[in-house]
Amino acid sequence: MAKSPLTLYLAAPRGFCAGVDRAIKIVEMAIEKWGAPVYVRHEIVHNKFVVDGLRDRGAIFVAELDQVPNDRPVIFSAHGVPKAIPAEAARREMVYVDATCPLVSKVHIEAERHSEAGLQMVMIGHAGHPETIGTMGQLPQGEVLLVETVDDVATLAVRDPERLAFVTQTTLSVDDTAEIVAALRARFPAIVGPHKEDICYATTNRQAAVKEVAPKIDALLVIGAPNSSNSKRLVEVGRNAGCAYAQLVQRATDIDWRALDGIRSVGVTAGASAPELLVKEVIDAFRARFDTTVEIVETATERVEFKVPRILREPA
């Protein structure tokens, strides 16, 4: 039976960003340097496929530092950790490697700088997300106020409206964040913002590519994990850009083919912690069912690279 024609529009950039690339490399190099097991506090990045692959190679993922024996190295995830965590590791004389994305570290430094200048911090982010916990944990309790929505801005109880600054989680929706920032500036005209947007280049680029693809497609598939903030934002951006069917899938086996019945064009992108291997798997699944044409829609070229920490570049 002849397969019906379908065009797959591949968004570019998509998938791994420089921070994720670096974090995975850090775990691989640590296993190479110190042998297995190497402990990782929390998922190194939010992707089951990546985490399972590293587990197979000798990484042990734990929720907290007290689950790590003192004589084994521990790695902190790309999302960043509260200050108390490396301090505790140092107190226990543990070997630790911080895989925090340098763009998240930049937000940490920003928050500290403002706090030292006597400003109370407002963080735009998602409650409970490891990056938000890590950033808020750079300063003493109560020094960082969290806002998730425009409505939260109206009820914000601040110490001094003239002495405020804000930072943001790096993986938010560019459009939603702009609305929250506008609300903050309207209510607190003296609030100090970052020199340059905290939302990272990779999040911004992946959202821009989805906006470009959206008018061409009947459906959008975002490859990513359900706990990945930047992947979930890509689904929202697709829907807001007019794509009626936008779904998050972890891999090809999660695709709801019945929902795609009769569809002629599908957009495919991947969150910043999803490997290209999973994109290829999705393309192959479409080729098995449709007479598939693949078109790439590229809105930016990324050449960002981050060095791994010195401890891993030195001989054991």
Structural domain contains residue 231: yes
**129 and 75 in a common domain:** no
Q: Which structural domain range is residue 252 located in?
A: 5-16+201-298
**82 and 41 in a common domain:** yes
Task: Show the low-confidence residues of the chain (pLDDT under 50).
Answer: none
Last residue of a domain, one of 67, 83, 100: 100
Cα separation, 6 vs 178, whole angstroms:
36
Cα separation, 90 vs 12, whole angstroms:
41
Last residue of a domain, one of 61, 82, 100: 100
Cα separation, 157 vs 151, whole angstroms:
13
pLDDT by residue (tens digit) across 125-156?
999 999 999 999 999 998 999 999 999 999 99
Give rounded-to-5 percent helix, strand, coil for the chain. Answer: 40, 20, 40
Please give the full DSSP string across 98-113, using - where no structure is assigned. E---HHHHHHHHHHHH
**131 and 109 in a common domain:** yes
**11 and 38 in a common domain:** no
Please give the pLDDT value at position 314: 86
Active site residues: 131
**80 and 126 in a common domain:** no
Beta sheet of 144-147, edge-to-edge order? 144-147, 120-124, 164-168
Q: Which of 82, 88, 15, 70 minimizes the C-alpha distance to 42? A: 82
Structural domain contains residue 314: no
Please give the pLDDT value at position 168: 96
Give this prediction's pTM.
Answer: 0.95
Please give the pLDDT value at position 2: 86
**173 and 156 in a common domain:** yes
**211 and 180 in a common domain:** no
Q: Are 6 and 291 in contact (CB under 8 A)?
A: yes
Please give the pLDDT value at position 108: 97
Q: What H or E segment, with its residue span, contains residue 96?
A: strand 96-98
CATH number for the domain spanning 110: value is 3.40.1010.20
